[in-house]
Amino acid sequence: MFDNLSDRLGNVFDRLRGRGALSETDVREAMREVRVALLEADVALPVARRFIDAVTEKAVGQDVLRSVTPGQQVVKIVHDELVEMLGGGEGAQAEDLNLAAKPPVVIMMVGLQGSGKTTTTAKLAKYIREKHGRKALMASLDVARPAAQEQLAVLGTQVDVATLPIVKGQQPVDIARRALESARLQAMDVLLLDTAGRLHVDQALMDEMKAVAGVSAPTEVLLVVDSLTGQDAVNVAQSFSGEVPLTGVVLTRMDGDARGGAALSMRHVTGKPIKFAGTGEKLDALEAFHPGRVADRILG
């Protein structure tokens, strides 16, 4: 995770730390290198720019440059800004699911085809049972992709979580209604709706998402995006967040993401926290996203 970015930043900061005194020019020079490293990591341009401005403003202050360990201080400022960029608030902790609403709490999963949405739905159902001790029902509303509903049923068996019986020919909104009814009857705590994806964002998809949200009143709407797609992931997030009321983001394939651009841009683009990271194909490869820990990892 973030290996390339981590190496690049590591080099810049090793040099800064290695010097006894720092001038404003040294800081600005280092920040130019950081900017390039961020852009090469596929961080969205406005996000990189804002980051550099914030760090520079704090780092060229006299109390930093005149301190005994100016390099160290600059690295600390970078760390704190990274946490901020990753969405860290109080204590830079992970933001968990909001399960406080009246049950069944509806969690709607949205995203493009291939983003890892169905896998993540099953991972979350397992997480909800193991970490929260809550009973979940999963339902696939994906009538577009052949065998999508069966795929969720198979995953449900693997994680030992119930799935809504498949009724062929039913439309997404009707499946959502039936799922809600079924979750109520079975006194489920949580209902996870795995919505249909598309290869690209289109209006029909957005209309479907809005209609499903309309009948299911989700407490959480989680956007699942593939971190490996970098700038594309950012564009997808922008499109979705303009149309459906997202409450959070799940970044998948973080296990293979050496660059980190999507992770670093997501908060700025959506205004919503990254709640989880998918870190593998296995159904327990889901981690709560801790901005503080991720920043530590990036800075080595």
| Residue 38, both tokens | 């961020």
The rounded distance, in Å, linking the Cα atoms of 264 and 274 is: 10
Binding footprint of ligand GDP on the chain (CB under 6 A): 111, 113-119, 197, 252-253, 255-256, 278-281, 285
Tell me how far, at minimum, the Cβ of 162 lies from ligand GDP, in Å: 19
Question: Count of CB atoms within 10 A of residue 136's CB?
Answer: 27
Provide the 8-state DSSP code for 106. Answer: E
76 versus 145: smaller Cβ distance to ligand GDP: 145
Shortest distance, position 275 Cβ to ligand GDP, whole Å: 14
In angstroms, give the least distance from the CB of 115 to ligand GDP.
4
Closest by CA position to 246, among listed 226, 219, 268, 264: 219
Please name which of 277, 224, 268 lies closest in space to residue 1, comparing C-alpha atoms. 277
Closer to ligand GDP by CB, 15 or 198: give it: 198
Q: Which is nearer to ligand GDP, 40 or 255 (CB)?
A: 255
- CA neighbours closer than 13 Å in the CB half-sphere of residue 23: 3
Least Å distance, CB 260 to ligand GDP, is 15
* Binding residue ranges for GTP: 111-118, 194-198, 252-255
C-alpha to C-alpha distance for 248 and 274, rounded to whole angstroms = 6
Q: Which residue is nearest to ligand GDP (CB)?
A: 278
C-beta of 117 vs 275, nearer to ligand GDP: 117
Residues flagged as binding site: 111-118, 194-198, 252-255
